[in-house]
Every structure is written in structure tokens, then in C-alpha cells.
Amino acid sequence: MQDNQTLESPPEIQFAGVSRWLKENLFSSLSSSILTVLSVAAVVSVFRSIIGFFISPEREWTAVTYNLQLYMVQAYPESDFIRVWITVGLLIFLLGLSWGFNSLKEKVLIKEWCDGLLKGISSFLFIVLIAPTNVDVEGTSVQVFNNNTRYICIALGIGLILAIYLLRKTYPKTEIIKDRISFLYISLLVGSIWIIKVPTVTFTANNERVDPDPFLPLANTTTIPWTIIFGFMIFGYLIGSFLKTKGKNSISRLILSSWVLAPLVIVSWIYRKPDFGMSNILTLDLPIAVGFSVLGILAIRTLNNKKIVPYQKYVTYGMLVLTVVIFFLPVLRQLKILFFITWLLVSVAPTIANSKESAKNLSIVWSVSVFILILLMRGASSDSLIVVPGSSIYGGFTLTWLIAFFGIAISFPFGVILALGRTSKLPVIRIICTAVIELVRSVPFITWLFFGSVMLTLFLPKGVEFDEVLRAIVVTAIFSSAYLAENVRGGLQSINNGQFEAADAVGLSTLQRITLIIMPQALRAVIPPIVSQVISLFKDTSLVAIVGLFDLLYIGSKVIPNQSQGANFLGTIQENILFCAIFYWLFTYSFARRSMKIEKRLGLGER
């Protein structure tokens, strides 16, 4: 009964509202009516020709659907695909975990959600309505969209609209958790790969191409893995939500570090399939790891001892000299790196581990990181058992993702350090940082890529060699840090001097002042330019094709349109380029949307 009263909003009034809106905004005068009609006509005709382009029989979309695997992993051998799936699964599990852990469990009115859906369905109806029936193929008109299909689609759309309308009426006040809606969409997506069928190409026994069979499921080999991975995602989400109720700080730190670790584990162990040899690990890595963790723990324990304190400086200098000497000795690369981080530990331990509690924590962190680091280095330095025809096991979207992710991740700390250096009071540091930034910025990215590919080896000590992908990542990271540094510097300048003074006045050290007060504010102030930088970096990864790497765009623009063997997709450049464009757009747009939300959430503190 009560419901009926609250439902008092008859559709007539809404339609009246619509017509009034139309009148006021679109048909307020003769000239505006003409303008409205003309622009609607223009929009319709443009959309018509775009849709016509997509569904014309001239388009060979099988060039895309058949080559999806090439697009994603390029030449990665099919026998080892489980590694690719583990990679994807791990990342998506982590995604679910952080999603569950960070979710605010925001709610939305079912009504509002329905309004959004209605918009989507109306756009679909619009497209169905204006889709051309015939298109011109080499002078003759060919039917591409038969009217029966159109009517079925329209009926379907109207049915959906009615259903949503009903839903809207029956639950006017009910709220639903936003995450559930997202899960509904994702499960529809995953469900659709079981049901929706897309044309692709098959071959007969004697390798003859069979023409597109429109009812072959798209890449039916992927349905089961994707479904399992979807399960993992939900699992991760549930674990994340559960951990959130525990609400420990250490858990969020753990999740954050697994985001740092997972990509490293992927590139050094999972994707590479290293040929490691158990004996190496047992006789070499394990003793080294134990040795260094003991060494580190000893350092942490003793350096704050009253008797040692006066000699702290000498220990640090001694360690530095030792590190430099070891660097030039012909020993395992692992040792060089370990000595370097031990030196870092020795220099920071006295300040960080100033109480029993923090000394214990630091010891644990140290031992765990030494073990992980050694294992990672073992994986990364062993030969890969994956054999591919090209120069690298990374190709297609995997390569794009890899360069973008590591390029950005590495450039963040360096960019921040460069920005701080450029604003430093010490002239030497300031001049060096300014020089680096200006030098890197003033030379085109492609030039740096060439430099990395051809000339970098000349500058490195003999015997140190990087693989082509690593070089591309290093160059990308350096290039991006210079730009990031300038963005961050802009943020630093926007911070009021009073913030520095207040931080000093409460007794924070310089490092604490930078990390706790200045940087969080500076970075927040420059989220928009950083987001555009990340987006353009993601797209600029396509330039690595120039040094012989097979990224997504290169496969779409060069590799597939030149395939003359097998399926023969010679000249299918339009379809492939369009696909690449949509693919890039999907990623950059969702990233931009995401970061807008984050900005809003963080914006709470501003004002």
C-alpha cells in the first residue's frame, strides 16, 4: 500500500517533461529547429557510413578474430600457454584482491542503474535503426543487414526497455552494491564467450582454408581458462573483502608489495620458463641467501650498539668501497647487486632500526627480500627454455603491457628523485638533475630507442648485456622519468611554504617531511598531467617496433596484413588498424575513468 503512494510519478508527466525539454533546448526557435534537424541528419549519416564500413562484406574481420592469439602473445609457443594463463590469472586474482580490499562497497539506487542501462539500450536501438540495409561494393549494392534481423533487434531492445522499466517501478528505493553490478557485467562478458559466435577461419586436413564459418565460437580454447580466471577474480575479491574486515595496515602493505612482486615473478620465472638447475639453487643460491641475511641481521643488531655507534660512518664507507671493488671484480652479478643493497642497508639501518621492535621488523624484511631477490635473479639470469623465432619471447600485447608497466613503475621513483634534485638547495645535485632532465627531454623518444638498441652496449662494461626488451624498458623509463620529474616539480611548486615550516616545526626529519607531507600533496596536485603522461606512454610503446620488437600495433599494421601463407590476410590493414585503435582506446579510456574516480576520492582532502 505504502509503496503505491511513493510510486506517484505517472509516465505522462515524464513524457511531458521530455517534450518540454525538447522544446526548450532543441526547438526553441525556427533557426534552432533547423540547426537541430541538420545536425541530427549529419550525425545519422556519419554513423550510417561508419556502421556500413564495419559490416560491409569487404571487411575481412576474420583477419582479427583468427589472429587474436598473435595479437596477445605473438610467437609464444602454444605448448607453454599454461604459463600465459598463469600470468593472467595471477594478475587478475591480485586485481580481485585489491578490489575487494579497497572497495568502499558503494551503493547505487536500482533506479539510477536502470537509467544508465536505458541509455545503453537506446544507443543500441539507435544503431540498429540507422544501420544501412545495403552498402556499395565496387559499384553494386549488396544487402548487409536484413530487415528481419533489424525487427528482431528492435523487438528485443523494446522488450528489454520494458523489463527495465518494470524493474525501476517495482524497486524505486532499493539500493544495490556497485561491485555486484560490475560482477554482473563481467560474468555476462565471460558467459558471452561461451555463447556468442564470431566468424573465424578453419583449415581442412590438407591445410586448405575453409571460408568463414559464422558459427564457430571465437577462440574456443580460451573459454575454459577465462572462466576459471573469472572464478579466481571472485575468489580474490572475497578474500580481499574478508581481509578488509580485519583492517590491518600490514595487509594493505602486503597487497601493495605483491603488486610489485607479481610482475617481477612473472617476467623472471613464469613467462620465461627458466632453465635453472636445482643444484645451482641448493649449492649456490641458498648459501648466499643465508649468508647475506645473517650479515644484514648482524649489521642491524650491532650498528646501534653504543660501542659501535662512533664507528658507524667507517662501516658505511668501508661497505661502499667493498661494493665498488666487487662491482669491478669478475664475480656473479648476483653478488654485485647483493653487496650494493647491503651497503644501502648499512647506511639506513641506524636511523630506521632505532628500537628493538623496528630492528626486528627490519631484520624480517631484510631476510625475506634477500631470499626473494636471489630467487628472482636466478630466474632472470637463467637461459629461457622458450624457443621463439624472433628476438624476444615477448610480443604483441604482452610486450606493450610489459614495457608500459615497467616503464611507468620504474620512472616513478626516478622522476620523483629527479624533481627533488632539481629543486634541491645543493648546486651540484641541482645542476646534474637539471642537465639530465633537459638532455632526455630534448631528444626524440625514437632516437633514444635507437640509442638503447645500438649504442648502449658501447657505454656498458664488457660482458654486461641486456636483452632487447630490457633495453627498451630502460629507455622508456628514463624518457618517462624526465617528463614525470617536470610534472612533479610543478606539483612541488604549488605547495605553500607554510607546509614546509609546519613540518619542520613539529620536528619531522627532511626525509619524513618529503615523504609524508610534501610528496603526497605535490603528486595529488598533478594527477591530471601524470595521467595524460601515462596514457601517452602507453601509446608510445608502439614506437618500439622501430628497434625490431613486435608490439601490438606492429602486428596489426605490418605482420598480419602481410601474411600470405596459411590463412592469407594480405592487405587487411583497415580491419587490423581499427582493431588496434579500439584496443588501445579501451585501455586508455578505462584508465582515465579510473583515475578520475581516484582523483575525486583524494580530492576530499583538498579545498
Partner 1 sequence: MSIIKSVDVKKWYGDFQALKGISMDVAEGEVLVIAGPSGSGKSTFIRCINRLEQHQDGQIFVDGIELTNDLKNIEAIRSEVGMVFQSFNLFPHLTVLQNITLAPIWVRKKSKTEAEEKAMELLERVGIPEQADKFPGQLSGGQQQRVAIARALAMEPKIMLFDEPTSALDPEMIKEVLDVMKELAKSGMTMIVVTHEMGFAKEVADRVMLFDDGQLVEENTPEEFFNNPKSDRTKLFLSQIL
* CA terminus-to-terminus distance, the chain: 46
* Site size for partner 1 (CB under 8 A): 25
Cβ atoms of 130 and 48 within 8 Å: the answer is: yes
For partner 1, give the closer residue by CB, 155 or 506: 506
For partner 1, give the closer residue by CB, 135 or 492: 492
Report the nearest approach of partner 1 to the CB of residue 503 (Å): 8
Judged by CB under 8 A, which of 521, 563, 574, 588 binds partner 1? 521
Q: Is 512 in the site for partner 1 (CB under 8 A)?
A: yes
Q: Is 509 in the site for partner 1 (CB under 8 A)?
A: yes
Stretch that binds partner 1, among 10-18, 276-284, 413-421, 514-522 (CB under 8 A): 514-522
Cβ atoms of 257 and 114 within 8 Å: the answer is: no
Stretch that binds partner 1, among 172-180, 204-212, 363-371, 504-512 (CB under 8 A): 504-512
Stretch that binds partner 1, among 174-182, 368-376, 502-510, 560-568 (CB under 8 A): 502-510
Query: CA torsion, points 414, 416, 422, 426, in degrees to nearest 10?
Result: -90
What's the distance, CA 62 to chain centroid? 27
Nearest by Cα to 529 from 494, 501, 565:
494
Judged by CB under 8 A, which of 115, 136, 438, 501 binds partner 1? 501
Q: Measured between alpha carbons, how far is 106 from 179 in angstroms, rounded to an integer? A: 8
What's the distance, CA 318 to chain centroid? 42
In the numeric block, which cell numbers belong to residue 186? Answer: 563481467
For partner 1, give the closer residue by CB, 419 or 547: 419
Cβ atoms of 537 and 545 within 8 Å: the answer is: no
Cβ atoms of 75 and 389 within 8 Å: the answer is: yes
Q: Is 507 in the site for partner 1 (CB under 8 A)?
A: yes
Cβ atoms of 572 and 519 within 8 Å: the answer is: no
For partner 1, give the closer residue by CB, 56 or 499: 499
Q: Measured between alpha carbons, how far is 429 from 519 in angstroms, rounded to an integer? A: 19
Report the nearest approach of partner 1 to the CB of residue 239 (Å): 25
Report the nearest approach of partner 1 to the CB of residue 105 (Å): 18
Interface positions, 457-496, toward partner 1 (CB under 8 A): 496
Q: Is 508 in the site for partner 1 (CB under 8 A)?
A: yes
Q: Measured between alpha carbons, how far is 94 from 232 in angstroms, rounded to an integer? A: 9
Amino acid sitting at position 319: M
For partner 1, give the closer residue by CB, 224 or 602: 602
Report the nearest approach of partner 1 to the CB of residue 54 (Å): 47
For partner 1, give the closer residue by CB, 256 or 502: 502
Interface positions, 336-355, toward partner 1 (CB under 8 A): 354-355
Between the alpha carbon of residue 346 and those of residues 113, 309, 333, 586, the distances in Å are: 56, 12, 20, 46
In the numeric block, which cell numbers belong to residue 165? Answer: 522499466
Q: Measured between alpha carbons, how far is 219 from 221 in angstroms, rounded to an integer? A: 5
For partner 1, give the closer residue by CB, 227 or 521: 521
For partner 1, give the closer residue by CB, 471 or 513: 513
Q: Is 505 in the site for partner 1 (CB under 8 A)?
A: yes
Cβ atoms of 293 and 370 within 8 Å: the answer is: yes
Amino acid sitting at position 9: S
Stretch that binds partner 1, among 225-233, 448-456, 466-474, 515-523 (CB under 8 A): 515-523
Q: Which residues are at the interface with partner 1 (CB under 8 A)?
A: 354-355, 496, 498-499, 501-509, 512, 516-517, 520-521, 524, 602, 604-607
